[in-house]
């Protein structure tokens, strides 16, 4: 029997922005439970829950202070259990984030570790002596700016933090640390979760000699200095594989569970690591890709990454996404100024669902949701505040889900939402699209239906056709009855010649007549027995 996760559509829920059930302006687990029917009606297979653990929220939950309890903002363990039970009733699997490369500086482990060099947790984090002149141990930089090292006067040492100073890195060279983390993961497996999304999975280990990173290749110095280095020694180390094997062994003790790792790397290294981390029955089940979360929307870019992955990992497996909680929403990122947002959004789901592998969608994208314009005084995500306004932070993609166009705050909350709901976003509410088959929401439901029901869109059989930009076409399945998926990624109409017996199947934005396929701007079509496709 084929594993459920291989062709899964995974819906990411950002808990604080999905549904507030108690009027405090922050989404919660009970709110998620109440809205699960909306997710199930889309036709997805699983939900991925961003962190809901106990946290001081310096990085919106990605700074965990207790791995086995729920942040009171979101509810209780009983609320979590009720949510999992309801999701399973609706046929939805539940995947939860695991943020184990680092903890919060408020975690009891770190509070003890920082006291001195002789306590029981002294070696649980990455500590290093200053250089003779008092400067940090090396040139490693934080993703959020500045040195990746913070001095602790009580130990006369620096600790490593790849992200905020409040997110000290755990020492995965200490077996006791790994054993304890596995125990916290086992806690959630025993509660019935169906898998884990492993945050920053290639950051677990570092070079034991603490060697300096070399400079990267850049023509103009980047906004964020982190991007000026080649990250050879501070992440993506070969020792990571041993950690992944331990996590996989734990997961395999349970039936039908899954691991997907977030692999963040630069350039071609991204696909190489995805392949390396999934090429074996003792590693990740699949890797979550960053390669399609940027502004590059060319046919060559999509083809290069998909073909590149499967060439490097014939036994590995990918998970592709266009949006998540860390990047500008693709409906805004990919629509030119004055362009048709709905057309881009409708095409995006058809494009994503044509790719071999699992796919992830981010809450609100099924509405064609756009990036919210967050003003400086409204910022809640402070990680990138030093780079304002060139980098406007991540709040714009994290604003609340909108359910009712005419209700206050889109019916997300009866209180004051933690981030504002603004008119351009509220106009895309669920109720304004629910009964409109041609809406973005209606298109998502239709495309996800064909993705689920058409076996040709399952498995790893695919072949890209040679067409010029901005056209992208790939065949799915094998034999004479392939499904041809054709996309006009440009803003001008295009006509193609196809087999005279070709027929349209499923949702489409195209016209087919007498072997001529007319694709408007951002048009798309799924074709039965399309045969050879060429410019008309």
**Residue pLDDT, tens place only, 396-443:** 999 999 999 999 999 999 999 999 999 999 999 999 999 999 999 999
The rounded distance, in Å, linking the Cα atoms of 326 and 387 is 15
The rounded distance, in Å, linking the Cα atoms of 488 and 509 is 10
* Farthest CA pair distance, the chain: 80
What integer best gives the mean pLDDT of the chain? 96
Buried b (16+ CB within 10 A) or exposed e, 388-410: eeeebbbbbbbbbbbbebeeebb
Buried b (16+ CB within 10 A) or exposed e, 353-384: bbbbbbbbbbbbbbbbbbbbebeeeebebebb
Q: Is residue 507 part of a domain?
A: yes
Give the range of the structural domain holding residue 513, as residue numbers without chain letter: 462-535
Last residue of a domain, one of 218, 240, 257: 257
pLDDT at 382 (0 to 100): 81
- Of 475, 479, 492, nearest to 527 by C-alpha is 475
Residues 444 and 498 placed together within one structural domain of the fold: no
Residues 223 and 286 placed together within one structural domain of the fold: no
**What is the percent of the chain with per-residue pLDDT over 90, rounded to a whole number?**
92
Given a contact cutoff of 8 angstroms between Cβ atoms, the answer to whether 274 and 201 are in contact is no
pLDDT at 530 (0 to 100): 56
Residues 366 and 508 placed together within one structural domain of the fold: no
Assigned token pair, 114: 């920082």
Between helices 240-251 and 269-278, what is the axis angle to 10°?
Answer: 40
In this structure, of 121-135, 167-181, 429-443, 473-487, the range with the lowest mean pLDDT score is 473-487
**Residue pLDDT, tens place only, 385-394:** 888 888 889 9
In Å, how far from its chain's centre is CA 79? 24
Residues 114 and 145 placed together within one structural domain of the fold: yes
**What is the percent of the chain with per-residue pLDDT over 70, rounded to a whole number?**
99
Q: Is residue 486 part of a domain?
A: yes
Give the CATH number of the domain where residue 151 resides: 3.90.400.10
Residues 97 and 158 placed together within one structural domain of the fold: no
Assigned token pair, 318: 């990918």
Does residue 340 surpass a pLDDT of 60? yes
Q: Is residue 457 part of a domain?
A: no
**Residue pLDDT, tens place only, 260-297:** 999 988 878 889 999 999 998 999 999 999 999 999 99
pLDDT band at 79 (very low <50, low <70, confident <90, very high): very high
Last residue of a domain, one of 238, 257, 276: 257
The rounded distance, in Å, linking the Cα atoms of 417 and 518 is 45
> What are the backbone angles phi and psi of residue 473, rounded to the nearest 5°?
-140, 135
- H or E element in which residue 535 lies: strand 534-535
Assigned token pair, 499: 């087999």
Into how many domains does the chain fold? 3
pLDDT at 266 (0 to 100): 82
Residue 5: CB atoms within 10 A of its CB come to 23
**Residue pLDDT, tens place only, 192-207:** 999 999 999 999 999 9
pLDDT at 1 (0 to 100): 67
pLDDT at 529 (0 to 100): 72
Give the CATH number of the domain where residue 497 resides: 2.60.40.1180
Q: Is residue 158 part of a domain?
A: yes
Does residue 532 surpass a pLDDT of 90? no
Given a contact cutoff of 8 angstroms between Cβ atoms, the answer to whether 361 and 9 are in contact is yes
Q: Which residues does the annotation mark as catalytic?
A: 199, 266
Pairing of β 258-262 and β 286-288: parallel
pLDDT at 252 (0 to 100): 98
Residues 320 and 202 placed together within one structural domain of the fold: yes
Residues 22 and 164 placed together within one structural domain of the fold: no
Span 324-339, average pLDDT: 97
Residues 528 and 417 placed together within one structural domain of the fold: no
Given a contact cutoff of 8 angstroms between Cβ atoms, the answer to whether 441 and 430 are in contact is yes
**Residue pLDDT, tens place only, 13-64:** 999 999 999 999 999 999 999 999 999 999 999 999 999 999 999 999 999 9
pLDDT at 479 (0 to 100): 81
Q: Is residue 388 part of a domain?
A: no
Give the CATH number of the domain where residue 369 resides: 3.20.20.80
Q: Is residue 467 part of a domain?
A: yes
Sheet holding 503-504, edge to edge: 462-464, 471-476, 483-488, 524-528, 503-504
Last residue of a domain, one of 433, 452, 471: 452
**Residue pLDDT, tens place only, 344-376:** 999 999 999 999 999 999 999 999 999 999 999
Residues 313 and 350 placed together within one structural domain of the fold: yes
Residues 482 and 448 placed together within one structural domain of the fold: no
Residues 431 and 288 placed together within one structural domain of the fold: yes
Residues 152 and 54 placed together within one structural domain of the fold: no
Higher pLDDT, 177 or 392: 177
Q: Is residue 278 part of a domain?
A: yes
**Residue pLDDT, tens place only, 206-235:** 999 999 999 999 999 999 999 999 999 999
pLDDT at 373 (0 to 100): 96
Does residue 179 surpass a pLDDT of 60? yes
Residues in the chain: 536
Q: Is residue 4 part of a domain?
A: no
Given a contact cutoff of 8 angstroms between Cβ atoms, the answer to whether 421 and 407 are in contact is no
State whether residue 14 is helix, strand or coil. coil
Q: Which residue has the tokens 């482990």?
A: 109
């Amino acid at each position: 029997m084929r594993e459920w996760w291989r062709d899964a559509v995974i819906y990411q829920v950002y808990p604080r922005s999905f549904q507030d059930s108690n009027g405090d302006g922050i989404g919660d687990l009970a709110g998620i439970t109440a809205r699960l029917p909306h997710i199930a009606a889309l036709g997805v297979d699983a939900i991925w829950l961003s962190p809901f653990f106990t946290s001081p929220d310096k990085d919106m939950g990605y700074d965990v202070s207790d791995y086995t309890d729920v942040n009171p903002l979101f509810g209780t363990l009983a609320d979590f259990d009720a949510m999992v039970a309801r999701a399973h009733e609706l046929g939805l699997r539940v995947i939860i984030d695991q943020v184990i490369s680092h903890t919060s500086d408020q975690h009891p482990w770190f509070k003890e570790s920082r006291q001195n060099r002789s306590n029981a947790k002294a070696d649980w984090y990455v500590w290093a002596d200053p250089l003779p002149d008092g400067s940090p141990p090396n040139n490693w930089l934080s993703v959020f700016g500045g040195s990746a090292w913070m001095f602790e006067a009580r130990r006369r040492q620096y600790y490593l933090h790849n992200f905020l100073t409040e997110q000290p890195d755990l020492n995965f060279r200490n077996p006791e640390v790994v054993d304890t983390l596995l125990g916290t993961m086992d806690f959630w497996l025993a509660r019935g979760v169906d898998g884990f999304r492993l945050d920053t999975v290639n950051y677990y280990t570092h070079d034991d000699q603490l060697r300096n990173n070399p400079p990267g290749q850049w023509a103009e110095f980047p906004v964020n200095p982190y991007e000026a280095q080649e990250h050879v020694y501070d992440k993506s180390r070969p020792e990571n594989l041993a950690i992944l094997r331990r996590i996989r062994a734990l997961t395999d003790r349970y039936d039908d569970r899954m691991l997907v790792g977030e692999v963040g790397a630069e350039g071609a290294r991204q696909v190489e690591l995805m392949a390396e981390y999934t090429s074996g029955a003792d590693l990740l089940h699949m890797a979550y890709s960053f390669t399609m979360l940027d502004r590059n929307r060319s046919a060559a870019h999509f083809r290069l990454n998909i073909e590149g992955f499967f060439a490097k990992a014939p036994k590995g497996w990918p998970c592709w996404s266009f949006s998540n909680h860390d990047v500008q929403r693709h409906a805004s990122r990919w629509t030119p100024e004055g362009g048709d947002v709905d057309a881009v959004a409708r095409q995006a789901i058809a494009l994503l669902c044509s790719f071999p592998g699992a796919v992830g969608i981010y809450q609100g994208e099924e509405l064609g949701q756009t990036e919210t314009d967050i003003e400086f005084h409204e910022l809640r995500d402070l990680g990138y505040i030093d780079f304002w306004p060139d980098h406007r932070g991540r709040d714009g993609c994290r604003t609340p889900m909108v359910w009712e166009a005419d209700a206050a705050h889109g019916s997300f909350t009866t209180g004051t939402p933690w981030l504002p709901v603004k008119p351009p976003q509220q106009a895309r509410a669920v109720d304004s699209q629910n009964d409109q088959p041609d809406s973005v929401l209606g298109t998502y439901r239709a495309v996800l239906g064909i993705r689920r029901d058409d076996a040709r869109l399952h498995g790893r059989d695919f072949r890209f056709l040679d067409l010029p930009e901005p056209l992208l076409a790939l065949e799915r399945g094998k034999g004479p009855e392939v499904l041809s998926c054709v996309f006009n990624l440009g803003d001008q109409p295009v006509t193609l010649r196809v087999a005279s017996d070709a027929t349209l199947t499923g949702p489409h934005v195209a016209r087919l007549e007498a072997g001529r396929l007319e694709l408007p701007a951002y048009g798309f079509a799924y074709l039965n027995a399309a045969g050879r496709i060429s410019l008309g």
